[in-house]
Homo-oligomer: A and B are copies of this chain.
């Protein structure tokens, strides 16, 4: 839930004067996104989303994110499309923050995804990877294997308070992944955060992908591994092989995984689990005692990591 910055009607009217969106009729702060402030903006031209980029998003990365959304939208990926202002730009400033207006996407995110939803996500992810191949800009993944040790350093003094022995387990896994991390697999644009709340459906049909603010240039199969973690576990943290198979089979119909990618999938899935375990752990430990807001449970990803450590080969995920 996120509205970090208040926007006055006067600010917004001034901001919109640079756009051809007609009269401002209403706007509401919306409880969506964690890093930025988002507003639904209703003008004579319809509904739009205004995003104010808060300090956790580096201003230098914004042209990458916005250009990527334009690139993908122009290649048939349904995602929010940045609206151009009268100077043909997509980035403005409001209330002291960099800000952009994007199109409003219909659809709802699914709290309890089915195998059919997982299949739809697999297909959308593959198409995103294919459409991204012609995207010229690059952005390093700031949350890949090279940054995990620094995250661990922030958490290791107090991490065992969350679960005794947690830090020794993380330390061991981290050493293993740093050594074995595959670096020669096919690279490209990855979404890097394609969780259920970033995928909209209208009925059974996937209607759009949102929140490209972790997108970067990295190993494509790592994005698949993130989705396996995000979509194919039950609420008791057990892996649902039917969902995993649906996601993977659907992905490979549009973009085949080569032998090296398949062989690396268990390791990539461990890495993805460790990445979310670490960021959640840091967020968890950063919250003061007595706070009203509790961040997401880091141990969910510890349990997922345990599963991936037990995996013998890609077959355990549901495909050969």
Contact = CB atoms under 8 A, between A and B. Distances in A.
Contact of A290 (B9, B29, B291): B291
Interface residues of A, number: 39
12 contacts: A1-B31, A3-B31, A8-B112, A10-B111, A23-B202, A25-B107, A28-B28, A28-B32, A30-B30, A31-B31, A47-B47, A291-B292
Interface of A: 1, 3, 6, 8-10, 12, 23-32, 40, 42, 47, 104-112, 200-202, 287-293
A289 B42 CA distance: 38
Main secondary structure of the interface of A (DSSP, over half): loop
Contact of A108 (B1, B27, B110): B27
Q: In the assembly, how many copies of this chain are there?
A: 2
B30 A29 contact: yes
Contacts of A291: 288, 290-292
Given A24-B108, A288-B290, 8 more contacts: A1-B31, A3-B31, A25-B107, A27-B108, A31-B31, A47-B47, A287-B292, A288-B292
A12 B287 CA distance: 32
A86 to B, nearest CB: 21
B106 A8 contact: no
Contacts of A30: 28-31, 40
B290 A26 contact: no
Nearest to A12: B108
Contacts of A6: 111
Nearest to A202: B25
Contacts of A12: 108
